[in-house]
Amino acid sequence: MIPVSHTPLRITQLRQRLRDLGAKPCHEDRLLRGWSQVCSYDRVHSPAEDFFPLALRNELPAIEAELYGLARLKSEHGVALSPRKPSPQPSPASGRGGKCEKPCSIPAGEGADVARLLVELHDGQMVESVLLPRGGLCVSTQVGCAVGCVFCMSGRAGLLRQLGSAEIVAQVVLARRRRAVSKVVFMGMGEPAHNLDNVMEAIELLGTQGNIGHKNLVLSTVGDLRVFERLMEGLAHKPSPQPSPACGRGSKREKQSSIPSVKPALAISLHSTDAALRAKLLPHAPQIAIEELVERAEVYARATGYPVQYQWTLLAGVNDSDAELERIAQLLAGKYAVMNFIPFNTVDGLDYRRPSAERTAYMMGTLNQQGILARLRDSAGQEIEGACGQLRARAVSEIIH
């Protein structure tokens, strides 16, 4: 019997447990594929009951129970989705013979719905995930956040704990049990740079067994040198050959590498080009010169072929001035980048306002005229129950009072 873990579960730990049960890389991969894609472990001519080692088959119900308990839906807010008929739970004894080459989810594009999910973790802590249009999902990487952005509810109570990589993937699994997920953005509660090992592990799994395209995995950061270093390491990495799917006698176990093979797209939370103002808005973000931040992001964008997505929460009278607009135009001229303006949504207890629709349109038009792609991103899901972290804040306060 595998003891239930009380620390955030990492995928490396899960893989080790599987190995302790006699699993080879092909067994690990098939199990992780079935879990992360919410589909059967069976393959044509290779049912799971003949494929997995006996010790693993015997432990599978306990492992599955633990995995599905990592992230449970506490509540859902927003446009109601017709709940997807839950996939039959893969079972080594099922013998269904289903082919597991692609997600069993419904096709991307059918789910144009937006909903915020309050997700309960195995220890009772809560985070938020957001179902985005066109198969997108925004996941949390920490409980709380240490950056303390003044316009965000997630950072109000500081950082409470890190999420394990398996808990991050479990949010995708939870969403995929409702509808297709073909894009994952790491922009929910938490600063991914502060939990980089777990975030990169989750990205690695989602971009391989999870069947999500690399450019559709979007790693967001306020700008942290560790992120750039790790991403640049990944660019130099050549993935080693996949182990034999047949798990033949000659198949060798791949040495686990901490260097990622999956190259995610990059998003930078900029919010101001004025260093002093940025330091006030993002009080605990690393103090990297904005020009350096943009330059490092540019190198990565050119190397991967995915534009950098700059995030800019628009606050009326704070960061929507003509001076900011001019500096954005200078900073991003000729850059492989997209500016995403996200008008602020009113939050109880915060005095900020969003600029008028006319002002927002003027800012976008001015940048677009200068050849800088600027888009309006309504903070998807934020109309529902306010800003990121507010659902959790409300749930916690209901528990306390």
**CA–CA gap between residue 149 and residue 278 (Å, rounded):** 10
Torsions phi, psi for 63 (to 5 deg): -65, -45
| 189 is a contact residue toward ligand SF4 (CB under 6 A) | yes
**CA–CA gap between residue 59 and residue 36 (Å, rounded):** 18
| 347 is a contact residue toward ligand SF4 (CB under 6 A) | no
Candidates 116-124, 161-169, 184-192, 293-301; binding stretch for ligand SF4 (CB under 6 A): 184-192
Give least dist CB 284 to ligand SF4, A.
8
CA angle 218, 173, 135 (to 5 degrees): 50
**CA–CA gap between residue 175 and residue 68 (Å, rounded):** 12
In the bound state with ligand SF4, the residue whose beta carbon lies nearer, of 155 and 243, is 155
**Tokens for 297?**
């992001």
49 part of the active site = no
Residues 271 and 321: beta-carbon distance below 8 Å: no
For the window 194-233, what string marks contact with ligand SF4 as x by the rule CB under 6 A? Answer: ----------------------------x-----------
Q: Please identify which residue in 191, 201, 204, 224 interacts with ligand SF4, judged by CB under 6 A.
A: 191
Candidates 57-65, 122-130, 144-152, 373-381; binding stretch for ligand SF4 (CB under 6 A): 144-152
| 170 is a contact residue toward ligand SF4 (CB under 6 A) | no
**CA–CA gap between residue 347 and residue 152 (Å, rounded):** 9
| 152 is a contact residue toward ligand SF4 (CB under 6 A) | yes
| 60 is a contact residue toward ligand SF4 (CB under 6 A) | no
Bridge pairing between strands 115-121 and 142-144: unpaired
Q: Which of 145, 149, 247, 388 is catalytic?
A: 388
| 147 is a contact residue toward ligand SF4 (CB under 6 A) | yes
| 319 is a contact residue toward ligand SF4 (CB under 6 A) | no
CA 53 to chain centre: 32
Bridge pairing between strands 71-78 and 115-121: antiparallel
Q: Which of 76, 128, 204, 298 is catalytic?
A: 128
Interior/surface letters 145-158, b for 16+ CB within 10 angstroms, e for the rest: bebbbbbbbbbeee
Contacts of 88 (CB under 8 A, 6+ apart): 40, 94, 96
**CA–CA gap between residue 15 and residue 11 (Å, rounded):** 6
Candidates 66-74, 112-120, 140-148, 334-342; binding stretch for ligand SF4 (CB under 6 A): 140-148
Q: Which letter does DSSP use for residue 118 in this model?
A: E
Q: Please identify which residue in 98, 155, 234, 386 interacts with ligand SF4, judged by CB under 6 A.
A: 155
| SS3 state at 91 | coil
324 part of the active site = no
In the bound state with ligand SF4, the residue whose beta carbon lies nearer, of 36 and 140, is 140
Candidates 81-89, 150-158, 166-174, 226-234; binding stretch for ligand SF4 (CB under 6 A): 150-158
**Total interface residues for ligand SF4 by CB under 6 A:** 12
Binding site for ligand SF4 (CB under 6 A): 145, 147-149, 152, 154-155, 189-191, 222, 388
Instruction: Please list the active-site residues.
Output: 128, 388
